[in-house]
Amino acid sequence: MTTPSDLYRQALEATDTPILRRTLEPVAADPARFGRMFYERLFERAPSVRDMFPANLASQELKLGETLLVLSGHLDDLDGVAPVLRGLGQRHHRYGATQMHYDVVGKVLIEVLAEVNGAGFDARARQAWLSLYRWTVQAMGPEVDAA
């Protein structure tokens, strides 16, 4: 049986894990700031999703950064984080998340990562994040399927 870790390894090269971790350094330095940047951009791109979130986003902004850091800590053991992602996917499904939401979230996530990393976010980093995001959405469950 193919595990989530197997799928990840098929999508990424061995050199991607250090790239992913390196490009998360600005997130680790200030997860709340990263979250604010992400949600501001998300709501610019998809204003209709604003109603899916609480009025005060402080907790949500911090959670986003922390979730990315947890994921980065499990890059060598993604099977260990897959159940957590599955639960996250089920909650997002209950909140009304659709394929369109996952698509725009992925685009915004990578844009903001590129912004906070500057020139350090090259084509290889972008590809590594695209692959990891696709795996993450797939691990979140059958009700989502990132393009």
Q: Where are the domains of the chain?
A: 4-139
CB atoms within 10 A of CB 141: 16
- CATH class, domain 4-139, is mainly alpha
Query: 144 or 51: which carries more pLDDT confidence?
Result: 51
Alpha-helical (H) ranges within 12-77 are 16-23, 25-29, 31-45, 58-73
Give the number of residues written for the chain. Answer: 147
128: Cβ contacts below 8 Å, ≥ 6 apart: 12, 16, 19, 20, 23
Q: What are phi and psi of 96, to 5 degrees?
A: 100, 15
Write down the pLDDT at residue 142. 62
Its pTM stands at 0.84
Q: Write the pLDDT tens digit of every residue in 17-75.
A: 899 999 999 999 999 999 999 999 999 999 999 998 899 999 999 989 888 888 888 88
**What is the average pLDDT across 116-136?**
93
The pair of three-digit structure tokens given for residue 78, joined into one six-digit string? 């993604």
